Amino acid sequence: AAEALSRVPDVAIDGGGVFKYVLLRVRAAGGPAKDVVRGHGWAEYHADIYERTAEELAQQGLDCECLGGGRLSHRPDERKIHVYGYSVGFGRADHSVTTEKLKAKYPDYEVTWADEGY
């Protein structure tokens, strides 16, 4: 179970644009957990990302819960990602956690966050 968890990428977001994201806690049955960020432009609702990710994880024997959502502005040409906003259904994710995950994945980016804005 821990091995399956280690194969789950911490961050999976679209290559550019402004889109919704969710912060998920992924857990191996009765085992360890880790938080992951998922953000995609195809999603009309935060729940769309959550449901698709939960389905993919279930196939690997993993559970997840949504800790909240928001929006990402990903500008690869400027090497910037801005985290902001909230999810009506899931509430506001802890943007500071999301920001740390994004900084680890994109070390040469400027990653910022704000609680205001939508």
Question: What is the per-residue pLDDT across 70-80, written as a single tens digit (0 to 9) for each?
Answer: 999 999 999 99
Binding residues for substrate: 20
Q: With contact defined as beta carbons under 8 Å apart, do 67 and 37 qualify?
A: no
Q: Is 67 helix (H, G, I), strand (E, B) or coil?
A: strand
Q: With contact defined as beta carbons under 8 Å apart, do 52 and 64 qualify?
A: no
Q: Which architecture, in CATH terms, is 1-114?
A: 3-Layer(bba) Sandwich (3.50)
Tokens of 49: 């990302």
- Catalytic residue selected from 40, 46, 74, 82: 46
- Return the pLDDT at 6: 93
Binding residues: 20
pLDDT bracket for residue 58 (50, 70, 90): very high
pLDDT above 90 as % of the chain: 89
Q: With contact defined as beta carbons under 8 Å apart, do 105 and 83 qualify?
A: no
Our answer to whether residue 46 is catalytic in this structure is: yes
Q: Please give the average per-residue pLDDT across 46-65, as a whole number.
A: 97
